Chain A
Amino acid sequence: MEKHIIEPTNPRRDFLKTAAIGVAIASCGSALCSCNKSNSNSEDQVVLLSPEGELVTVDSSALKAANKSHCVSGEASRKGIPGKKFVMVVDLARCKNAQKCQESCDKNHHTQYPKEYLKVLKMQDNPSASPYWQPTMCFHCDEPPCVKVCPVDATFKRDDGLVLIDNDRCIGCRFCMAACPYSQRVFNWGEPEKIESEITCKSPEKSGVNTTMGTVEKCDFCPDMVREGQMPHCVSACPNGVFYFGDENEDAVSNGEDTVRLSKLLADRAGYRAMEDLGTKPRLYYLPPVNRLFPFEDAAETEEDHSAN
């Protein structure tokens, strides 16, 4: 099991489709593979990994996405996508603070500075170490302190690993904001601006759409996109492939260009989680900023330097 090989046409889309049918293949095994082999002259084909470890080419039209519905609400939205354990890996060595992730996140979740789900922070581990950029968002912890303290189950943990918020239930006590050591939750202090969107879905899976005064919001790992077989917005927006997203059960993550084995990536690149000692068990890993692709540059500082000169 080295790699999932994916057709170049629309890699992001296909990868997740692969992910979505992973379970299906596992259950029907080689029968599915053979039937699709005979039918492989359509243009949109994907290469999949069979349970035996063989790579097989499959016509994508033969695949059924797990769930195509746009608006999953109620109990279903509290359960999660069956068989999944979503995970994100952020490669700090590639980040140059291009801020495309943030822009795309803001646009698609209808948020606006300073209420943002994704923040790129300037970090420096110690005075001798070189500073680096660190994108942060909700880490969807496996031991989420925010979920523990919520008095009304408005923020909850799903089987697929996601931590989401039901904006129709939240009482706005902000205990979860106090409890989150990563400061990743944002609050609607006033009446949020009416969003111009044709989507009217009231679902915890659509953060930013069902936005209401006096409730919390945060990054949701874009489960609506994932259900459609696409990547979260930040992943597809990043020009440098910083973000890898995938499924831990399948042990595969992709940044849109490369699809790699999660365990190998973390082992080879010394992946770590933020503040491991707090015991929150984040579902987001960082790859340390070593052998960087870009030298560190702080646009704000350079401007200051120019104006000072």
Chain B
Amino acid sequence: MDINKVQSNEQIEKDLMPRAFGPYGKLWVVFLLFIGGIGLYYYVQQLRHGLVVTGLRDYTTWGIYIANFVFFVAISLVGSLMSAVLKLTNVKWRTPLTRISEMIAVAAIMFAGLIIIVDMGRPDRFLNVIFHARIQSPITWDVIVITTYLFISMLLLYLPLLPDLAIMRDRFKTIPKWQQKMYAFMANNWKGTSEQHKILNKSVMLLSVMIIPVAFGIHTVTSWLFATTLRPGWDSTNFGPYFISGAFMVGAGAVIATMFVFRKFYGLHKYITLDHFDKMGRLLVLLSLVYLYFNVNEYFVPAYKMKGSESAHLKELFTGAYAPLFWSVQIGGMLIPIIVLLFKKGRTPLIMFVISIMVIVGAWFKRFLIVIPTLHHPYFPMDQAPEAWSHYTPTFAEWCITGGSLAGALLIVTFLVRYFPIIPVEETIEEQKGGTNELNIERGYQPQIEKI
């Protein structure tokens, strides 16, 4: 832990425990509800009139819903990165960031599932996916891994919350009845005995190991939705690692952005320090370099060969209609972040916040570029179809629904933060005291030494 001055436990609790929304918080929630409400309105229109309200047509059959789906799945990988990969590699500074990451992960994966239902022509028949499931379809695999991932992520969010829930149960006496009840229910008889700590540590450890293959699974299977087809641009064996590396990169970007926002609005400077930004900056550079490597493989090798069926697709990206977007995303969303963050001066909170927004926006449009242009280059010519079908312009309704889903995911994060501490309180206390403290025993919270 990198807390410069040792804080008293009361201070830590006061700083980290959830608080009611301030005026900005309220405004933020109203804003998200507004965007989400518009999205919902247009989704009802879509349910009534069909997918005709979108810019999708035969040939361009998948659009920004699917791009958004891939984006959500990608972002959700951050949970496993921060709470599992860094835990298993024994990185200590991650403690204040794990919960934010898990919250983002749970919100993102929930909306990944929702947006895929939004994309379905017949959402009313969704249960066919279970009743008539066929195991050879990558969609079935996706349904299986996404539910598994959602489940494990929720556990990874919930279990480490237990000690904090107990604190809230025991100390928050002035909050509304339902909230007291909720904490009591969720704290589930947590007393903080060493026995309970042992079980908790073991389960979290087990889940951390389990979530890594599942995390790789969700994004690899998501990439296979494309890679298992025969289309130029998608027909690539590089897609699995390409997607995974991109996902870790945008996930790290999302953590940085959230870190910045909460640090600022919740005054968490003591807990999320400059050192955290520095470390996250280095991590982001590393992850971006890995992503860059897979990008080179994905684009350079086919471009070198310029195979007939691929060339139309590649030319459209490099010099054609999608070139401005393609180069902005590659340069602004990948190269510039790498360069800036390589310098120590670049790894300061505000610059990193800007960079992380570039990474996130770039990542969203990168998914757009992965999903859509390929569909404009089928093997057979499209000349019998109406001219308009050879382009794709998302409609207003489509943007609103997509925006609504993003707002919804942010709303979930916002409410989780409203009712649960974003930084693990108990763990922070423990780490600060190095595990031996009379105060803890006095209050009934047993000392706990992390043995990894």
**What's the Cα separation between A100 and B35 when bound, in Å?**
50
Min distance, Cβ A178 to any Cβ of chain B, angstroms: 5
Q: Which of B52, B134, B386 contacts A189 (CB 8 A)?
A: B52
- Fill in one digit per residue for A178-205: 1 if any B CB lies within 8 Å of its CB, else 0: 1101110111111100000000000000
* Chain A residues within 8 Å of B56, by CB: 189
Do A175 and B381 touch (CB < 8 A)?
A: no
- Given A172-B121, A188-B50, A114 contacting B58 (CB threshold 8 A): yes
B interface, size bucket: 35 or more
Which of A136, A172, A186: most chain B CB closer than 10 A?
A172
Q: Is the interface of A mostly helix, strand, loop or mixed?
A: loop
* Chain A residues within 8 Å of B143, by CB: 151
Q: Which of B51, B139, B140, B230 contacts A181 (CB 8 A)?
A: B230
* Chain A residues within 8 Å of B140, by CB: 151
Q: Which of A171, A178, A179, A181 contacts B129 (CB 8 A)?
A: A171
- Fill in one digit per residue for A251-278: 1 if any B CB lies within 8 Å of its CB, else 0: 0000000000000000000000001001
- Given A170-B122, A171-B125, A121 contacting B229 (CB threshold 8 A): no
Do B128 and A182 touch (CB < 8 A)?
A: no
Closest residue of chain A to B134 (Cβ to Cβ) is A153
Q: Is the interface of B mostly helix, strand, loop or mixed?
A: loop
* Chain A residues within 8 Å of B225, by CB: 175, 178
Interface size on A, residues (CB 8 A): 43
Q: Does A31 contact B (CB under 8 A)?
A: no
* Chain B residues within 8 Å of A114, by CB: 58, 384-386, 389
- Fill in one digit per residue for B116-140: 1 if any A CB lies within 8 Å of its CB, else 0: 0001111001101100111011111
* Chain A residues within 8 Å of B132, by CB: 151-154, 169
Do B122 and A183 touch (CB < 8 A)?
A: no
* Chain B residues within 8 Å of A153, by CB: 132, 134
- Given A115-B58, A183-B380, A214-B120, A149 contacting B51 (CB threshold 8 A): no
**What's the Cα separation between A136 and B378 when bound, in Å?**
14
Do B62 and A174 touch (CB < 8 A)?
A: yes
Q: Does A120 contact B (CB under 8 A)?
A: yes
Q: Does B258 contact A (CB under 8 A)?
A: no
Min distance, Cβ A156 to any Cβ of chain B, angstroms: 10
**What's the Cα separation between A174 and B143 when bound, in Å?**
16
* Chain A residues within 8 Å of B229, by CB: 145, 149, 178-179, 181
Given contacts A170-B122, A178-B229, 13 further A-B contacts (CB under 8 A): A114-B389, A122-B383, A145-B229, A148-B228, A150-B137, A152-B125, A154-B132, A169-B128, A171-B128, A172-B51, A183-B58, A186-B58, A189-B54
Top 7 nearest A-B pairs by Cβ distance? A172-B121, A214-B121, A190-B52, A151-B139, A151-B137, A152-B132, A189-B52
Residues of A that sit less than 8 Å from B by CB: 114-116, 119-123, 136, 145, 148-154, 169-175, 177-179, 181-183, 185-191, 213-215, 275, 278, 280
Residues of B that sit less than 8 Å from A by CB: 49-52, 54, 56-59, 61-62, 119-122, 125-126, 128-129, 132-134, 136-140, 143, 225-226, 228-231, 234, 375, 378-386, 389
